[in-house]
Amino acid sequence: MVLDKIFTTSWLIKKPSSSVLLGAATTIVAFITAALLFNSPSVEQFVGISTILLTVILATPLAAKLYTYEERIGAKKQFAQRSVLQFFIYFFIGVFIVFFVLALIWPQKVFYEEQIYGQQPTQESMPGRLPPPPTAEEHQVTKIFRNNLYVMIVSFVLSIFYGSGAIFLIVLNAAIFASALGQLIHTKIPQGLSFLATYNFIICNLGIMFLHMIPELAGYLLAAIAGGILSRAVMKEKILSPTFRRVAWRSALYLVAGLFTIYIAALIEIKVSKRLFVQDVCGSHSYGIYALLVLLALGIGIEALRRFSRKGRNNR
């Protein structure tokens, strides 16, 4: 495949940030292909889901090679999972950017969450606010955790049998988040706002989404990686051999960590994100959200500088 020649495994491991280009390239190719296949208005609704599936097909071979690398290095008791995680994070960013641009131009051609349940996108009568989450219930956290657990199990199974669980969930969530943000821009912005005020409104609401979106996506990725490295071990190692047991144990640790993470994400969604949406903090107290985003950006910057300095010392 052409993309295998352009984005080699060694290059993606050495420069994980290049996965942004890979995510963008695969999504663009997939969208063009889907748009050409379903160019009739009667079948236009299939463009969104077809783009997701075609993106998964294009990216799965490279993900499988990264899983092989992770399983081989993991058997030597080293830590290659960081390269795999970085690949998925940057890949998600690339896919999200393309889907977001598409959602601004052709919102009807980007997959949205309501399609999972056969519904139309929710329209809010009150302009300038996101649709509030469902009314509070005692079992709300358990319900969300159960739904996320179902998605996590699907991710784990897909990774074991197809090696594509992580890629599928990354692309699916990128499309859903991008569609939600695009819908916000099209229908939820108060009329008469200046460009700067509109930009602030979007960033504030996106920041609230990130509060539970990041740990939720991280939990899915941990489950998918667990299934991926276990699948490679089943194919390449003897069952119950020392190497297989080591890899299986690491896979179990990933899975447990994923369970814990999606439960934390459910708590954040109900206890924090939901309350912020209902109270409309982006219309009155947006500076607190900006402060959280600044702290998050500083944390990412410090970690990047620390990693860069470590690489510099290792190259001496």
Answer yes or no: is pLDDT of 124 > 70: no
pLDDT classification of 309: cutoffs 50, 70, 90? low
pLDDT of residue 127: 40
pLDDT of residue 72: 61
pTM of the model: 0.72
Closest CA to 184 of 134, 106, 130, 133: 130
In a domain, 48, yes or no: yes
pLDDT of residue 126: 39
Answer yes or no: is pLDDT of 119 > 70: no
Interval 28-43 mean pLDDT: 89
pLDDT classification of 313: cutoffs 50, 70, 90? low
Answer yes or no: is pLDDT of 83 > 70: no
In a domain, 307, yes or no: no
pLDDT classification of 311: cutoffs 50, 70, 90? low
In a domain, 292, yes or no: no
In a domain, 293, yes or no: no
Rounded Cα gap, residues 119 and 157, in angstroms: 27
Q: What is the tally of structural domains in the chain?
A: 1
Answer yes or no: is pLDDT of 82 > 70: no
Q: Which of 120-129, 253-262, 269-278 has the highest mean pLDDT?
A: 253-262
Rounded Cα gap, residues 99 and 90, in angstroms: 14
Identify the domain containing residue 167 by its residue range.
2-284
* Out of 77-86, 91-100, 134-143, 296-305, least confident range: 77-86
Kindly report, residue by residue over 125-140, the tens digit of the pLDDT.
Answer: 434 444 444 445 457 8
In a domain, 304, yes or no: no
Interval 268-281 mean pLDDT: 78
In a domain, 297, yes or no: no
Phi/psi of residue 39, nearest 5 degrees: -90, -5
pLDDT of residue 172: 85
Q: Which residues contact 160 (CB under 8 A, 6 or more apart)?
A: 227, 228, 230, 231, 234
In a domain, 63, yes or no: yes
Interval 20-46 mean pLDDT: 89
Helix (H, G, I), strand (E, B) or coil at 315: coil
Closest CA to 66 of 107, 20, 10: 10
pLDDT of residue 132: 47
On average, the pLDDT of the chain sits at: 75
Q: Which residues contact 257 (CB under 8 A, 6 or more apart)?
A: 222
